[in-house]
Amino acid sequence: MLGADALVKCLELEGTKYVFGYPGVAICPFYNSILSSDIKTILIRTEQNAAHAASGYARVSDSIGVCAVTSGPGATNVITGIATAFADSIPLIVITGQVDSELLGSDVFQEADITGAVESFVKYSYLVRNANDIPRIVKEAFHIAQTGRKGPVLIDIPIDVQNSEVKKFSYPESVSMRTYKPTVKGNMVQIRKVAEKLSKAKRPVICAGGGVILSGAQDSLRKFADKYKIPVVSTMMGIGVMPTKDPMYFGMVGNNGKPYANRAMNEADLIIMVGARVADRAISQPDLIMENTVLIHIDVDPAEIGKNAKPSIPLVGDARHIFDDLISQEITGNYDHWLNDLRIYRQEMEPQRDPDPSYVDPAAFITMLSEKMKDNGIYVADVGQNQIWSCAYHIVKKGRFLTSGGMGTMGYSIPAAMGAKLACPKRQVIAVCGDGSFQMSMMELATCRQYDVPIKIVVLKNRYLGMVRQYQHFKYNDNYSVVDIGDLPDLGKLAAAYGIKCMKLSNMKKADQVIDEFLKNDESMILECNVDPYDLVH
Amino acid sequence: MNKKVFQIIVDNTSGVLSRISGLFSRRGYNIESITAGVTADDRFTRITIVASGEDEVLDQIEKQVAKLVDVRDIRELYPESSVYRELALVKVKADATLRDSVKSIVDFYKAKIIDVGYDSLIIELTGNSAKIDSFLDILRDYEILELARTGIAGLCRGTEGVLYLQ
């Protein structure tokens, strides 16, 4: 058995179903071995998208996404995808081929120090020197990627190691690492303190981040919030912790969030921040909020606690474990009055828009689209104005909302939607992007077709890099610089080139029937929406 | 600005030092000195870092280092319950006429002359950083040709703070 065979065998034993990637000489032994495996391979059209597709796959299947690319440019291209996954704590295994061990460090053809280059974007990385280490390393890599705060792990394997004989293959049953032991169970003393503080609080709010979804704590959180009648808001990554219309849910916080969600945060006397980084876009001035507020910060990563805001009660652990422990505590507070206030705010403070009827209003369109989506449908938002509209107007029922929150990587939605569709072929998957972000990933239309991955793609076309144009509108007094993206490409012709149907919507008049038509069959389709170039998100 | 001495025990893997130093540089933490060497158990390396910053930053340093997969343990070596030592090698320009006067300072500091050249001396001094600073200050009347300082190594006193490696 060769190193490459061992690597494939390890992936099989870890239950890997798909490998997203792009071959090159340095990873060819691996791609040769995988031919005799049941693992399916997806030839993505650029390596960055291999990581995005693996990310979409991981998030929806609640497992680990795997990608495999070649050395040098293959490896450096995948970095943006790795960084995107790292920022949102998505578990990935990224395998990179590497030049011959003997030649390492001599700048030969397609050599890049990828372990060095990704150091700040991975949870851990390995450079495999000996084929006999492969089983241990893969076992550790999967363990590291999916435990504690999840994240990408990179395995760099020189071609000679892939080609060398493994003496005796045995896959370890468990991991024994001397140095890596994340805390998942919350400290009971701290949990009791949370219950005491909650009992004394009058206006508590739970601010849920992506960590709640990553730990599968949605149900536990919902039960807890319901039992004690504690309102819930979320960060962008936390969208989907509860259905949008849940009576206990009060929207997304932050500078692009709902005014009533921010008001809830500002008026709260106790905030339970859970699985959230308290980063600048969500909480722009943590000091202001904290002055008269009890802050309870729950996170599986101790380094997040106290990084951006000083909590009154730090609580390290996995969100699901902690809510399961919290729910059995005695909490005597009554927050009915507060809840009532928030419901009034929600009614009164919903932002009003005044859309130009000659265009598709993104707000009305997204609301209508999500109402017509299947209950368990998966909505993948890209980055830009489209993302902010999606956050504000998409209605999560029992489905998922995926986006690149931390890194804000344009072009995420199409490959991530493909990964999600492969993970759950029976679910409806819709990518919503702008004309800028669409063009960053449009080469993947070929992949969609080649592997028959039927995703729906909405392009909100406004002929501008809208988010930057909006920034220049406010900050530079409409002096637009390098944001005019023009009218190209002709999406109808482009779609036709790939054998994909394309529909157009020029205003809201026919939205109802066009969306019905767009969603009718489980086949790839593009819907181009003509959006007001000067529309603003707020 | 405060200063803390951290004792870090890491798995002896390749690249571990660059992971630690990379963490400090990308997050903008200040390192005043860093020393590394294998522990009594050769699977582990002990790294001693002197870091400076506001309390919140020092707190983050401890947490971010602890988070690295290769790190077995990080703890502060508190000044009141630890000993710190640093080694300095100082090359001083001193011909025959100056040797004796330099030697008297060397003796006073319990330092050692470990090399004598025609017009220079190399002095070895071990002590805490303050002692080395003061020694260098006394030597300012002479010409220091080269100076090599190791940064501090430290241990906690007694058996209470000992980390038993398994």
Question: Which among B10, B18, B69 has the least Cβ separation from residue A123?
Answer: B69
Chain segment B5-62, per-residue pLDDT in tens: 999 999 998 889 999 999 999 999 999 999 999 999 999 999 999 999 999 999 999 9
A295 band by pLDDT with thresholds 50, 70 and 90:
very high
Residues of chain A neighbouring B55 (CB-CB closer than 8 A):
none
B84 band by pLDDT with thresholds 50, 70 and 90:
very high
**Which residues sit opposite B3 in a β-bridge?**
B52
Tell me which DSSP letter residue A352 carries.
Answer: P
Determine, for residues B18 and A124 on separate chains, whether the beta-carbon distance falls below 8 Å: no
Assign a CATH topology to domain A362-530.
Answer: Rossmann fold (3.40.50)
Chain segment A477-508, per-residue pLDDT in tens: 999 999 999 999 999 999 999 999 999 999 99
Determine, for residues A120 and B59 on separate chains, whether the beta-carbon distance falls below 8 Å: no
Determine, for residues B63 and A306 on separate chains, whether the beta-carbon distance falls below 8 Å: yes
CA nearest to A331, candidates A229, A213, A458, A195: A195
The more confidently predicted of residues A141 and A350 is A141
Listed in sequence order, the residues at least 6 apart from A489 whose beta carbon sits closer than 8 Å to its beta carbon are A439, A442
Question: Which among B15, B43, B69 has the least Cβ separation from residue A180?
Answer: B69
Mean predicted confidence (pLDDT) in A404-420: 98
pLDDT at residue A215 is higher than 90: yes
CATH of B84-153, one of 1.10.10.10, 3.40.1190.10, 3.40.50.720, 3.30.70.1150: 3.30.70.1150
Determine, for residues A302 and B66 on separate chains, whether the beta-carbon distance falls below 8 Å: yes
The pLDDT assigned to A18 comes to: 98
Task: Write down the pTM of the prediction.
Answer: 0.94
Mutation target to probe the B interface, by most B beta carbons within 10 A, among A114, A129, A179 is A179
pLDDT at residue A147 is higher than 70: yes
CB A234 within 8 A of CB A252: yes
CA dihedral A11, A13, A16, A19 (to 10 degrees): 20
Rounded to whole angstroms, the Cα distance separating A29 from A11 reads 15
The pLDDT assigned to A306 comes to: 87
Determine, for residues B72 and A179 on separate chains, whether the beta-carbon distance falls below 8 Å: yes
The pLDDT assigned to B164 comes to: 79
Q: How far apart are the first and last CA of chain A?
A: 59
* Measured CA distances, A180 to A145, A176, A186, B60, B133 (Å): 12, 9, 17, 18, 39
A289 band by pLDDT with thresholds 50, 70 and 90:
low
Q: How far is A242 from chain B (nearest CA, A)?
A: 30
Rounded to whole angstroms, the Cα distance separating B14 from A104 reads 14
CB B150 within 8 A of CB B34: no
Mean predicted confidence (pLDDT) in A332-355: 94
Mean pLDDT value across chain B? 94
* Measured CA distances, A270 to A205, A251, A309, A318, A341 (Å): 6, 18, 14, 20, 16
pLDDT at residue B141 is higher than 70: yes
The pLDDT assigned to A178 comes to: 82
Do the two domains B2-76 and B84-153 of this chain adopt the same fold? yes
The pLDDT assigned to A290 comes to: 67
Mean predicted confidence (pLDDT) in A177-190: 90
Is the ipTM higher than 0.90? The answer is: no
Residue type, A279: A
Listed in sequence order, the residues at least 6 apart from A6 whose beta carbon sits closer than 8 Å to its beta carbon are A131, A134, A135, A166, A169
B166 in A contact zone (CB under 8 Å): yes
Distance of CA B25 to the CA centre of its chain: 19
A179 band by pLDDT with thresholds 50, 70 and 90:
confident
Do the two domains A188-348 and A362-530 of this chain adopt the same fold? yes
Residue B151's φ and ψ, nearest 5 degrees, are: 80, 165
Percent of chain A with pLDDT over 90: 93
Q: How far is B2 from chain A (nearest CA, A)?
A: 18
Closest residue in A to B65 (Cα–Cα): A303
Matching residue, tokens 């807890």? A224
CATH of A188-348, one of 3.90.700.10, 3.30.2320.50, 3.40.50.1220, 3.40.50.2300: 3.40.50.1220
Closest residue in B to A178 (Cα–Cα): B72
Listed in sequence order, the residues at least 6 apart from B48 whose beta carbon sits closer than 8 Å to its beta carbon are B5, B6, B7, B8, B33, B34, B35, B36, B77, B151, B152, B153, B154
Mean predicted confidence (pLDDT) in B129-135: 94
* Measured CA distances, B67 to A67, A149, A176, A300, A449 (Å): 25, 10, 17, 11, 42
pLDDT at residue A419 is higher than 80: yes
CB A371 within 8 A of CB A516: no
B43 in A contact zone (CB under 8 Å): yes
Rounded to whole angstroms, the Cα distance separating A175 from A496 reads 50
Mean predicted confidence (pLDDT) in B110-122: 96
The pLDDT assigned to B160 comes to: 82
Q: Which residues does A contribute to its contact with B (CB < 8 Å)?
A: 115-116, 119-120, 123-124, 127, 144, 177-180, 301-303, 305-307, 310
Ordered by start, the domain boundaries in chain A are: 3-163, 188-348, 362-530
The pLDDT assigned to A281 comes to: 76
Specify the CATH class of B2-76 in words: alpha beta
Mean predicted confidence (pLDDT) in B121-143: 95
Task: Give the DSSP letter string of B49-77.
Answer: EEEEE-HHHHHHHHHHHHHSTTEEEEEE-
B63 in A contact zone (CB under 8 Å): yes
Ordered by start, the domain boundaries in chain B are: 2-76, 84-153
Assign a CATH topology to domain A3-163.
Answer: Rossmann fold (3.40.50)
What angle, rounded to 10 degrees, do the helices at A188-200 and A319-326 form?
A: 60
Q: How far apart are the first and last CA of chain B?
A: 36
A194 band by pLDDT with thresholds 50, 70 and 90:
very high
Rounded to whole angstroms, the Cα distance separating B4 from A155 reads 35
